[in-house]
């Protein structure tokens, strides 16, 4: 994003950022004219920069003292996105974009389209006006290290001059008619803003229907690399034909900045929980990654009719060894990591223990009634398939085998911690009778992935009222309500 000068935009003096993620609002109020630049009179007056050689990204900071943030900034863009972080639909990204005359130009570093005043973007309580949008090849943001063919940046500014950018990646696919107005009128040479007679563009038609995004605090991706830019990188790409992509790459084929260090920043994805605003009833609305939570047909937990017998079910065999107590509060439950080597075997199938954790109240119900708690022992096989052994915990006798866990419950969210001198053995905690109800279900937390083999023990384990109460002081409502059985059989 290149520094052109300063301008007045709705009464506020702002710096104009014109290439990468520039602003361009200084021209929005002027009637665009066709100007053929004279070769001997450079259109761009600031120190030259580009994408290769001595003027490339690695040297931007040395080209002008105003570009110092390009090397010294600690919240720079673009970044590599860890796609295991679920993109969030909340707060909702609400664009208010309308049809606008096509005002397009080649600024020497990208193709930019100016947008008339009045279009805006709202995210939560924040609103910015659209200034312009432009393109990069390859995409500037990468996703687990992989780049897309193109990336479109829609640049916005509020009255105080704060910037927000909506990043949209573009992949090869079907011809995109909503991009025709732009890609059929790409200026191949350096030019001034030009209105194309009779041609309009509407960003609302360009964006994907799914507007879930990864959000983070970053910078302009071009000099002067100014920080405090609110980035919203959409998780859903749009398509363009190879011909459309090739048309842009025929002008700019490597106008992208490499990814920058994340440093101490966090990329905001979705935040789920058990409260009404982010709880089980809305999990499926929070992220496209969580679609199974609302549309899955084999979801867990379920209500179990106690009269159901399973006389022909294969025997559950456990080979659980003692493991050092590595415990943590993950913000949703208290979890204990398990050493490798402990296994569950059922009817020729075998899974290895990964971890166990707790819910209060129980997630599964018996005849529509909850127990005080439920323990889930999570296993995985060599193919990545999951199996969970669920054990109800009822109020009763003090349980010494659970005490290492309950005596060391972390009250605050944090990383796994080894509790010195403490061991736990699941085979001592579980009841002698391992008969169980079995069914095909899902994870009981987002992303609610199905294909999980459930074994819910019929015999509960006991814990004292004080042990249960101790857990409930940390989590007292971390359970998902029961889900429809649909066509499944126990």
Q: In degrees rounded to 5, what are phi and psi of residue 231?
A: -100, 140
Q: Taking the model in full, what pTM does it have?
A: 0.84
Kindly write down the DSSP assignment for every residue of 344-394, as one continuous string: EEETTEEEEEEEEEEESS-SSEETTB--SEEEEEEEE-TTS-EEEEEEEEE
What is residue 21's predicted lDDT score, i.e. its pLDDT? Answer: 57
**What is the architecture of the domain spanning 3-249?**
Roll (3.10)
Residue 9: pLDDT above 80?
no
| Cα–Cα distance measured from residue 202 to residue 325, given in angstroms and rounded to the nearest whole number | 58
Q: Give mean pLDDT, residues 420-443.
A: 97
Confidence category of residue 460, pLDDT binned at 50, 70, 90: very high
- 150: its two tokens: 């193109």
Beta-bridge mates of residue 395: 463
Distance from C-alpha of 313 to C-alpha of 436, rounded to nearest angstrom: 8
Distance in angstroms (rounded) separating the CA atoms of residues 354 and 375: 14
Given a cut of 70, whether residue 277 has pLDDT beyond it is: yes
- Residues 6+ positions from 236 with CB-CB distance below 8 Å: 208, 209, 210, 211, 212, 288
Two structure tokens written together for 384: 């990545």
Distances (CA, A) of 358 to 267, 303, 374, 421, 478: 28, 18, 6, 22, 9
The mean per-residue pLDDT over the stretch 95-117 comes to 95
Q: Closest by alpha carbon to 102, among 5, 12, 206, 9?
A: 206
Q: What pLDDT does residue 444 have?
A: 98
Q: What is the mean pLDDT of residues 17-22?
A: 47
pLDDT in tens, 108-154: 999 999 998 899 999 999 999 999 999 999 999 999 999 999 999 99
Is the confidence at residue 304, as pLDDT, over 90?
yes
For domain 299-472, give its CATH number from 3.40.630.30, 2.60.40.10, 3.20.20.70, 3.10.200.10: 3.10.200.10
- Which tokens go with 407? 């005596």
Instruction: Check pLDDT > 90 for residue 37.
Output: no
pLDDT for 312 equals 64
Burial call 55-66: b when 16+ CB within 10 Å, e when fewer:
bebebbbebbeb
Q: Give the pLDDT mean for 289-314.
A: 90
- Express as a percent the part of the chain with pLDDT over 70: 90
Residue 17 has pLDDT above 70, yes or no: no
pLDDT at 3 over 50: no
Instruction: Say which residue, 197 or 16, is predicted with more confidence.
Output: 197
Distance CA 463, CA 402 (A): 8
Domains 3-249 and 299-472 share a fold: yes
pLDDT for 254 beyond 60: yes
Question: What is the residue extent of each domain of the chain?
Answer: 3-249, 299-472
Q: What angle do CA 177, 179, 185 make, to 5 degrees?
A: 115
State the chain's mean pLDDT as an integer. Answer: 91
pLDDT in tens, 174-220: 999 999 999 999 999 999 999 999 999 999 999 999 999 999 999 99
pLDDT confidence tier of residue 223, bands split at 50, 70 and 90: very high
- The pLDDT of residue 26 is above 90: no
159: number of Cβ within 10 Å: 13
Could you list the beta-strand ranges (E) of 403-469.
417-424, 436-442, 450-457, 461-463
Supply the pLDDT for residue 308. Answer: 79
């Amino acid at each position: 994003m290149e520094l052109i000068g300063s301008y007045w935009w709705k009464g506020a003096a702002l710096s104009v950022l014109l290439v990468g993620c520039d602003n361009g609002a200084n021209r929005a109020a002027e009637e665009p004219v066709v100007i053929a630049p004279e070769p001997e009179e450079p259109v761009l007056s600031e120190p030259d920069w580009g994408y290769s050689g001595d003027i490339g990204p690695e040297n931007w900071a040395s080209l002008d003292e105003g570009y110092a943030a390009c090397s010294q900034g600690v919240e720079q863009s673009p970044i590599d996105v860890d796609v295991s972080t679920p993109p969030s639909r909340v707060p909702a990204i609400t664009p208010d974009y309308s049809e606008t005359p096509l005002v397009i130009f080649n600024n020497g570093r990208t193709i930019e389209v100016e947008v008339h005043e009045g279009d805006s973007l709202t995210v939560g309580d924040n609103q910015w006006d659209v200034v312009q949008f432009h393109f990069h090849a390859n995409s500037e943001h990468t996703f687990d290290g992989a780049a897309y063919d193109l990336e479109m940046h829609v640049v916005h500014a509020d009255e105080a001059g704060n910037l927000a950018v909506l990043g949209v990646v573009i992949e090869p696919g079907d011809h995109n008619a909503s991009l025709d107005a732009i890609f059929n009128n790409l200026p191949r040479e350096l030019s001034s803003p030009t209105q194309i007679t009779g041609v309009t563009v509407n960003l609302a038609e360009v964006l994907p229907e799914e507007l879930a995004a990864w959000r983070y605090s970053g910078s302009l991706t071009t000099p002067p690399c100014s920080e405090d830019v609110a980035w919203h990188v959409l998780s859903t790409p749009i398509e363009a034909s190879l011909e459309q992509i090739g048309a842009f790459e025929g002008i700019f084929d490597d106008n992208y900045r490499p990814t920058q260090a994340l440093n101490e920043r966090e990329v905001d994805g979705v935040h789920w929980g058990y409260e009404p605003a982010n709880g089980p009833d809305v999990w499926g609305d929070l992220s496209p990654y969580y679609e199974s939570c609302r549309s899955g047909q084999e979801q867990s937990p379920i209500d179990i009719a106690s009269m159901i017998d399973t006389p022909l079910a294969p025997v559950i065999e456990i080979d659980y060894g003692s493991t050092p107590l590595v415990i943590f509060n993950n913000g949703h439950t208290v979890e204990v990591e398990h050493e490798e080597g402990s296994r569950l075997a059922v009817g020729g199938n075998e899974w290895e223990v990964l971890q166990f954790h707790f819910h209060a109240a129980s997630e599964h119900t018996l005849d529509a009634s909850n127990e005080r708690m439920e323990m889930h022992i999570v296993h995985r096989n060599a193919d990545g398939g999951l199996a969970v052994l669920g054990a109800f915990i009822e109020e009763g006798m003090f349980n010494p085998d659970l005490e290492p866990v309950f005596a060391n419950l972390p009250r605050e969210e944090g990383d796994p911690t080894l509790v010195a001198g403490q061991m736990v053995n699941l085979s001592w905690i579980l009841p002698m009778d391992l008969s169980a109800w079995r069914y095909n279900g899902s994870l009981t937390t987002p992303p609610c992935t199905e294909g999980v083999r459930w074994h819910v023990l019929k015999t509960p384990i006991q814990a004292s009222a004080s042990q249960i109460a101790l857990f409930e002081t940390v989590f007292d409502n971390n359970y998902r309500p029961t889900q429809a059985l649909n066509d499944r059989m126990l």
